[in-house]
Amino acid sequence: MTALFNIRMHHSLDAAQISEAAVHFAKLFKIEPEKAEQLLHKAPVVIRKGASEEMAGKIGTALQKLGITISLEPVADAAATAAAPAPVAAPEATPEAEQSAGHAVNDGGTVVSPPDHPGYPFRIEGRPDFSFLTVMVPGEQMLKVEASAMATMDTNVEMKTKMRGGLSRLLTGESIFINEFHARGGAGEVGVAPGAPGDMGHVYLDGNVIYLQNSAFVACGPKVEIETKWQGLTKGFFSGESLFLIRAVGQGDLWFNTYGAMIEIDVDGEYVVDTGNIVAFTEGLEYKVSKVGGYKSLFFSGEGFVCRFSGKGKVWIQTRGVQALLTWVHPFRPVKKRG
């Protein structure tokens, strides 16, 4: 027997955005604009009862482009839901239909933002080898993206380039410029492709702080500030990494990338990570850089310095390191013979 679901609509649009979205909603589902606006004002609300999973996928894909998400309630568990309006007609199927069901999934390497996500709707495809981020920017809203990382965008999206962080940001290895993408006259998609082949992580900041290694920043919401933090000569010089960290603080989405796959680790006490494998960590974790073993180990073991974290928080690590790859490739480099 085919499973059936009630489809509940969610959004975080303001009054002006609702009026604009209602016009497109009405055209998609062939109902009066006034009826569409009423439904949007009532959200979260059930918009269709007894739909198949395939139908839900089509509806979810269509609504995502308006900055609206859906959640699915099995019919057996939704008897107490309020009376739903007349069923709406679903649009034609699209290639993305099965990638957006209105809730977070990890199916075939794809991650989709959940329906109650307070930030922008997004999906991450191609994980963990070649992650590609697509963000639905609501109408008249803005997305910050690392310079040169934009791969695709809708025609109603405008780009502006601004300087961020000055000389200190340049010293992190990042560009001193960040591109701002503004959706004009309605929601618009922006596709982002990081430079390094690997995974991508997402965190919604709500006043908390996350520190990123240089080159890890990908994109963020308009209320997230990207700053630079001086590590100090000792930590920065001996770690073999940048003397600066990227400090992300504020409220909104933050996306960051790795070289290789990404692993999120909960730290409660102490934890040791090679400096070349650190991607990000939360504020509140103390850290110090030290060598592994004695000086013989330092020069001949192939290992170098490690970061010793202490406290309670999260650390994101990457499964590959650029320096390790260079060391592995070095013996195979072409050498010009003398004489």
Q: Coil, helix or strand for 331?
A: helix
Residue among 239, 270, 269, 256 nearest 316 (CA): 256
Spatial separation of the C-alpha atoms in residues 274 and 258, rounded to whole Å:
15
Spatial separation of the C-alpha atoms in residues 160 and 183, rounded to whole Å:
12
pLDDT by residue for the chain (339 residues), tens only, comes to 467 888 888 998 888 889 888 888 888 777 888 888 888 988 888 888 777 877 788 888 888 888 899 888 887 543 333 344 444 444 433 333 333 333 344 445 688 887 778 999 999 999 888 999 999 999 999 999 998 899 999 999 999 998 665 555 455 445 567 899 999 998 999 999 998 899 999 999 999 999 998 889 999 999 999 987 765 544 443 344 445 788 999 999 999 999 989 999 999 999 999 888 899 999 989 988 887 655 444 444 445 678 899 999 999 999 987 766 776 677 888 877 775
Q: Do the Cβ atoms of 67 and 121 come closer than 8 Å?
A: yes
Domains of the chain, start order: 4-78 (3.30.1390.10), 108-331 (3.60.160.10)
Spatial separation of the C-alpha atoms in residues 317 and 199, rounded to whole Å:
11
Q: Where are the beta strands (DSSP E) in 147-243?
A: 150-153, 157-163, 177-183, 188-192, 200-212, 217-220, 224-230
CA-CA distances (angstroms) from residue 103 to 2, 47, 192, 256?
20, 16, 21, 21
